[in-house]
Structures are given as C-alpha cells and as structure tokens.
Amino acid sequence: MAAEKVVQATGLLGWVDRRFPLISLYKAHLSEYYAPKNFNWLYFFGSLAMLVLVIQIVTGIFLVMHYKPDASLNAAGIPVAFASVEYIMREVPMGWVIRYMHSTGASAFFVVVFLHMFRGLIYGSYREPRELIWIFGCLIFLCLMAEAFMGYLLPWGQMSYWGAQVIVNLFAAVPVIGPDLSVWIRGDFVVGDATLNRFFAFHVIALPLVLIGLVAAHIIALHEVGSNNPDGVEIKAKKDANGIPLDGIPFHPYYSVHDIVGVTGFALIFFAVVFFAPEFGGYFLEYNNFIPADPLVTPPHIAPVWYFTPYYSMLRATTDVFTWVLVASAGLGALAFLRNTQGLLKIAGVVAMVVLAVMFRLIDAKFWGVVVMGGAVIIMFFLPWLDKSPVKSIRQRPTWQKWLYAVFVVNFFVLGYLGVLPPFPVGTVVSQIGTVFYFGFFILMPIWTRMGDYKPVPERVSFKPH
C-alpha cells in the first residue's frame, strides 16, 4: 500500500505551525478525532454547554465594566450595587440585553449540564475507561454551582441578600468550627460589603479560571479514551487496515456541522426567553430580586433559584423526626446483618451502631441536612464504581431498570418543585420519601444492577444513515 502523502503547510499558516503545533492540534481534536457514527440528539448538550460558557464569559466581561460591588447606600438611599445593575439595564446601550443574556445563560447552563449528565447516566458514559471524564464532569458541576451561588448575590436584591444569608448560615451548623466557618465565608458577622466583594472576586476571577481548567481537563480526558455511544460499543475494538475505527467518523466536518442544528435550535429558544420572558415566571429572575436588599425586612418565603431546589428540598426534608426514622432503619438493617456474625465483629458492629445513633441525636438536624444536601452531589462521584451491571447502555438493560431510571428523573423533578414552594406537611413527607429514593438509587446500585436479564452488547454500533 502506498504511503500516505504528507502535505506541508505554507505561508503564514506554515510559519505558525513550525513554531506552534496548530495543524497537529486541529487533526488530533477535530479532523482526525474519530467519534462513533451513531450519536443522537442527546449528544448536542456537550457542545451547547461549551457555547453557554462562552456566552457567560463574554456577557460577564461587559457587565463587569459597569457593575460596582458596593453594598453602601448612595445619595438616594439605594445600595450602590443594586443601582449599578439598574444603570446597566436602563442607561448602558444594549445593557438590558447583556444582563438578560447573562441571567438567562445561568439557567441555560444548568439545563444543558443536567441533560448532559442525564445522557451520561443512561448510556453509562461513566464506566471504564471513562471514570476520569465523569469525575471531571462532576467537578465542573460543583464549580458551576459555586459560581452560580456567588453570582446570585451580586445584584444585591432582596432574594439575593436573604438567600445568601440562609445558605451561609447553614455552615454554622457544622460542629465545633461552624460559627467561625460561616464568619470566614461572609467576611463579617452578617452578609454585607465584605461578603459582596468576596463573592464578586470568586465569581469574576477565581471560579471562572477553575471552571475553564476543568473543562479543558474534561475534553482532554475525553479525547484520550474516546467518546461513548448509545449502544455502549467500544469503537476502537474494530479498526480497518489504516487503524481507523470502522464505526467512527471524523468529528470535523461531520459533527461540527451536525452541531449547528443543535446550536440553531438552542439559539431560537434562548433568545426567545431573553427577549420575551427573561424572568421566566419568576424562576430565572425572582420578582423579589427587583427590590433593593434590606437587612431589616425578611421576605415571606425564601427559596433558591430553581437549579438548587432539588437539593434544597432534601435539606428541608432532614428534620428531627426524619433523622430518628433513618437511625431506626439503619439500626434494624445493621441488626439483620450482624445476626449472622459472631465474636468481636458483632461486638464492634453493635458499638459502632450505638456511637452513630448517639451522634445523630446529639448533633442538630440542620447539620445532617447540610450533609444530605452535599452528599446528594458527592455521591455521583462514586457512580463508576457503584454500577456493577454487565453492560453500559440503557438499551441493553432490563425493562424494569428503564422504568427505575424514569422514576429517578420524575423524583428529581418533584424534589425541585417542592423546593420552590413554602414548606407544608404533605410536601415535607413527599420530600423525605424522594430523598430516601434518591440516595437508595445510588447506594443500592451495586445490588440492583446485578439483577435481571441483560441483552447482549452488539459487536457494531446500530446506525441508520439519513
């Protein structure tokens, strides 16, 4: 077979390429990066997340040019930070568009990231050899949550102020170090100018740098091991004589052009929201946040932005009664396990059970609520090692497992909806059931993923050209 002809770049491109590996990078990550040819519409959301990140950075730069992180009152008795946002909205040319693009972009970021993670969950994109890709993705999600929380305070409206007050005060529930920790986060004994400047620095400088670094690591890890696909087939297992995967196609131009469809659809929805419904019924921008922050007036109902509400619902579900039920359930489970043991192991198990029960009762339920809220995110890091099923994709899983995934998604939506509402008895009980189901889904995964009849994994990807 004739050797492949290598064409050297000339002119300016050649001059640059001899000093910087521009063409080799283009080939490695675009024209010669082979992706499975059976991607579906769920694979739009990775590229859309990159697009929203760019939107947030660009609009954020323009907002910083006019925003003032100052909690003091101006001559009119309005906080300077709040007034600067109003100045952007009313006086800066196209400022209202930039501000609404940024606020809508925050919610859009979580929409596409949630869908991106959902796709990874159902197609097993966290399984070997893609564990690091998943871990980097979870770190991106954590960083994104911190970035959104820090940015939420900056408009210095009523909901911004009191939302930050509630969340930061949760850290005071940590035993021993809690009060000092909450003061350290705020930079003061109450949410004030020090808090605003601290959050501004994190939101504008520190966290974006971390986020960009994590995104780069996520993409590098992805391109090292290759993309997963809806069938869960490793395309690198079957290659032609030139070492090219039989079921792979170059990312560029095929998927770069294919993603234009997703970008177009996203842009239509995104700008429809920006121009016609930027508040989105109070879910993207709360009506209370158009009122200047007043430390002396507490809003009748304080709730976080919609993308935090599932976790906030779990926090509120962790009451004293709920912890008692958890301790009793864990105790019964431990007794059932220890019944078949003997000697020192049984004694150690009983002692550990008693110590844990005492800890649960001595420490305030609010602390365990914080643990539950944080654990709801942290537990996803362990997903690659919790799933013991013989297949990756949901396509080869038993029907009852598909229904289990569907219930998990519905449960997450219900928790999110209840987190928006003021607490009420029935909602609290439903939230507690939803919290138990959420954690049970992951904790019991090593058991239920071994059960059922699985379909065989196909040797080649299923692909229908259109």
Each residue of 158-183: b (16+ CB within 10 Å) or e? bbbbbbbbbbbbbbbbbeeebeeebe
- Tens-place pLDDT, residues 346-367: 677 777 777 777 776 677 778 8
- Tens-place pLDDT, residues 266-325: 999 999 999 999 999 888 998 889 999 999 888 888 889 999 999 999 999 988 888 877
Question: What's residue 110's pLDDT?
Answer: 97
List domains and CATH numbers for the chain: 20-290 (1.20.810.10), 306-449 (1.20.810.10)
> Which residue do the tokens 């990807």 mark?
461
- Tens-place pLDDT, residues 49-98: 999 999 999 999 999 999 999 999 999 989 999 999 999 999 999 999 99
- Tens-place pLDDT, residues 271-285: 999 999 999 988 899
Q: What is the CB neighbour count within 10 angstroms for residue 9?
A: 13
In 182-327, the DSSP E strands lie at 248-250
Q: What is the DSSP letter of 36?
A: E
CA distance 308 to 111: 12
Question: What's residue 466's pLDDT?
Answer: 59
At 1, the pLDDT band (50, 70, 90 cuts) reads very low
Question: What's residue 334's pLDDT?
Answer: 66
% of the chain with per-residue pLDDT over 90 = 64
Q: In the predicted model, is pLDDT for residue 2 greater than 60?
A: no
| 134-143, 177-186, 421-430: which is most confident | 134-143
